[in-house]
Amino acid sequence: MTMKKYFILTIFIIICTTLIALADDVRFINALKSCSSYSESGVVNTEGLNVTSNKKILGWEGDKCVYQEKVNFSGIDSCITCKLSKSQIKELTSVMEAYNLVQQYSKEDIDTSSISGVQNNPIVKAWNKYLQDSSVCTVSTNQLK
């Protein structure tokens, strides 16, 4: 795997890590379902890095819902923009709701401290399908220019 592809994959997994943190946030899930305006910022520690994340649901652009997340870690700024169809939104929110329900009855805490700890998470798998599809999501970063 080239360094550039590894770097982009790392960014995707970091973004998914921040999405796991939102999995139990009913406001985010409901905003995504309806594609209504939403914004949230926070910091997640993964792989020893403090990752600052700013997530936004920007609303409809034609028949696609625009989701944007900006992440910063180790001085690297990245932005991912996804344009999701109604069926993609339904799939993602269904996975997030199901995961949230299971977590309510689980004694396990979600470990977002390492990439290996999150890569098999159902939310990561669901989002990664779209994050790695350039017809749905695009990523830009100051590190690759």
Tell me: pLDDT of 32 over 60: yes
- Please state the domain count of the chain: 1
Cα separation, 96 vs 77, whole angstroms: 26
Closest Cα to residue 57, out of 34, 88, 79? 34
Closest Cα to residue 142, out of 45, 48, 54, 72? 72
* pLDDT number for residue 35: 97
Work out the mean pLDDT of the chain and round it to a whole number: 77
* pLDDT number for residue 99: 78
Q: pLDDT higher for 17 or 43? A: 43
Band the pLDDT of 38: cuts 50, 70, 90.
very high
- Domain assignment of residue 96, given as a range: 3-141
* pLDDT number for residue 74: 73
* pLDDT number for residue 63: 97
8 A C-beta contact, residue 53 and residue 43: yes
Residue 19 has, within 13 A of its CA and on its CB side, a CA count of: 32
Q: pLDDT higher for 85 or 29? A: 85
Cα separation, 130 vs 127, whole angstroms: 5
Phi and psi for 107 in degrees, rounded to 5? -90, -10
